Amino acid sequence: MRPERGRISQVFGHNGRMADASRRMLALLSLLQDGGGWSGEELAERLGVSRRTLRRDVDRLRSLGYPVHTRPGPGGHYRLAAGTALPPLLLDDEEAIAVAVGVRLAARTSAIADVDDSAATRALRKLEQVLPARLRPRVAAAHEGTEIAPDPGAQVPAGLLADLGGAVRRHERVRFTYRDRDGADTRRRAEPYRQVLLRRRWYLLAWDTERADWRSFRLDRVSGLVRTGQYFTPRELPAESAADYLAAAFRARRHRAVLTLHAPAEQVADRLRAQDGVLEPLTDGACRLTAWVDSFEWLATVVLTLGVDFDITEPDAFRSYCARLRERLDRAVG
């Protein structure tokens, strides 16, 4: 069973039985734009017309350049194929609100550079121009009732994402300059596998042809990308997905630390983020925090701001760091 759909939210039509051919054809186009196949019986029932009228409307759409494909016989259907031009996009009420809110979020929080004042903002202005009056208060309420915190994640140019995406899709080798964390530049050659947005940063997972191994590259450190026109057969990734591979690789490069916090887990859970570690309640009213961290400085800051006593189970390196931190604090207050 197909779900019930709301009213078409473009300026072309309104709810209710379509009284003339133009409105009826727009309603038909809106249904076909779902991308699936519709039987003639389903479409005729949704439009409130006869099968003969439906066939005439389909012919009119074809005459306007819309590629409506028909499959006759049992299990037959009508389907709108991909065309060479962008047709008018018709949305029902809930779709229009979802798109407007989604585009606003993209403009405010995007990890893609140049989006704030260009593509997303222009798209939002165009959409708001054609929203029916009945929907504008609902969209405005969603915008005004939502506050979006600044996203500190590093942004990358939209053109870089598009070029790399094309190379990934066509299995095309690339060359680029990569700046490491120390600021040194190296020229890399790679077979791109996937672009991944992880922990508010864009990464490229690729096979580094000179190092003969999988490597991840932060895209905000990539410059001078060149698509070589040389194609390759994709290698099998040793993981379920690129995101899984990157998450495991990041964890393997991190320090594992285990702490006993002298407070119930529910007391400190609200002060920790999911990425800060895993909490396990213990029987004596304490809890265990297991964390994988890039630096002991960050871990010390997190546990000190929890406001509870704690013991360090492992590693010894973190215990030594805390001892040096205590000496520094003693000097500061002495």
Tell me, what's the pLDDT at 19? 44
Instruction: List domains and CATH numbers for the chain.
Output: 1-90 (1.10.10.10), 96-144 (no CATH), 156-250 (2.30.30), 255-333 (3.30.70)
**Does residue 239 register a pLDDT over 70?**
yes
Band (82; pLDDT cuts 50, 70, 90): low
What is the spatial distance between Cα 272 and Cα 308, in angstroms, rounded to a whole number?
Answer: 13
Higher pLDDT, 164 or 138: 164
pTM higher than 0.85, yes or no? no
Tell me if residue 196 falls in helix, strand or coil.
Answer: strand
> Crossing angle for the helix pair 120-130 and 93-109, nearest 10 degrees?
150
What is the spatial distance between Cα 175 and Cα 164, in angstroms, rounded to a whole number?
Answer: 11
What is the spatial distance between Cα 161 and Cα 181, in angstroms, rounded to a whole number?
Answer: 21
Six-digit token string for 38: 């519709």
**Does residue 18 register a pLDDT over 50?**
no
Chain mean pLDDT for the chain: 80
Average pLDDT over residues 6-35: 58
- Given a contact cutoff of 8 angstroms between Cβ atoms, the answer to whether 89 and 83 are in contact is no
* Residues 196-224: tens digit of each pLDDT: 888 778 899 999 999 999 999 999 899 99
Residue type (1 letter), 250: F
| CA count, 13 A, side-chain hemisphere, 191 | 16
> Could you tell me which of 195, 310, 307 has the C-alpha nearest to residue 260?
310
**Does residue 15 register a pLDDT over 50?**
no
**Does residue 59 register a pLDDT over 90?**
no
